[in-house]
Amino acid sequence: MLVSFLQSTALLTVGQAEAIAAEFSYLHLSKHSFLLEAGRVSNDYLFLEAGLVRAFAYDTAGHDVTTGFYGPGQVVFEVASFFQRTPSQEYLQALTDCAGWRISFAQLNTLFHGHPEFREFGRAVLVRGFAALKTRMLATITEPAAARYESLLRASPDLAQHAPLKHIASYLGITDTSLSRIRKALSQK
């Protein structure tokens, strides 16, 4: 799965993707364990092969707010902390048992400097991530919560089975009660 991901932009040959994949190491995260805690510098770039990870931060009132969900086939890391080498404001926590392939900041930079085609792959992945973030931000402004919930379930069909509703509600920027109403209305369609 990692080799296929590395080839997803068509910038790497099979041989190049296999050589780069060999630099990653296997990582298992138990349910509820943390890949990253706030206050620490993100050092792991994880390609998630199985499981579900939640990103969250605490707001000024002390409530945890879900900022992202990551499932199989996605890269999990806190981009600002990872590349700027600054303490993270977010937590990355396994909602289920997870498995994937990790590489450190230093290892990733070595690969970027040694393989220009991999550097271009990394740039393409960042652009996709930035575009997804922009789309989500605009949807928060322009779409009703029900439409955002339906989009989230289309993108991540297993999410409702593995993520507590309070996490999904906070990700959507709504209350648990509002999400319950949305779910009830959708089930009656």
Is 40 inside a domain boundary?
yes
Tell me the sheet residues that pair with 68.
55
Distance CA 89, CA 83 (A): 14
Is 77 inside a domain boundary?
yes
Specify the amino acid at residue 178.
S
Is 138 inside a domain boundary?
no
- Domain residues for the domain of 53 are 2-114
Is 106 inside a domain boundary?
yes
Is 172 inside a domain boundary?
no
DSSP 115: -
Is 45 inside a domain boundary?
yes
Tell me the sheet residues that pair with 88.
none
Q: What tokens appear for 179 in the block?
A: 């999400």
Residue pLDDT, tens place only, 12-47:
889 999 999 999 999 999 999 999 999 999 999 999
Residue pLDDT, tens place only, 123-182:
998 999 899 999 999 999 999 999 999 999 998 888 888 999 999 999 999 999 999 999
Query: For residue 158, what pLDDT is reported?
Result: 85
Nearest to 51 by CA among 29, 33, 67: 29
Query: For residue 172, what pLDDT is reported?
Result: 94
| Statement: residue 11 has pLDDT above 90 | no
| Statement: residue 8 has pLDDT above 90 | no
Tell me, what CATH number does 48's domain have? 2.60.120.10
Q: How many CA atoms lie within 13 A of 181 on its CB side?
A: 7
Instruction: Give the rounded distance of the alpha carbon of 15 from its chain centre.
Output: 27
Residue pLDDT, tens place only, 39-85:
999 999 999 999 999 999 999 999 999 999 999 999 999 999 999 99
Query: For residue 189, what pLDDT is reported?
Result: 76
Is 147 inside a domain boundary?
no
Instruction: Give the rounded distance of the alpha carbon of 55 from its chain centre.
Output: 7
Domain count, the chain: 1
Distance CA 154, CA 62 (A): 31
For residues 119 and 10, the model is more confident at 119
Is 143 inside a domain boundary?
no
Distance CA 125, CA 122 (A): 5
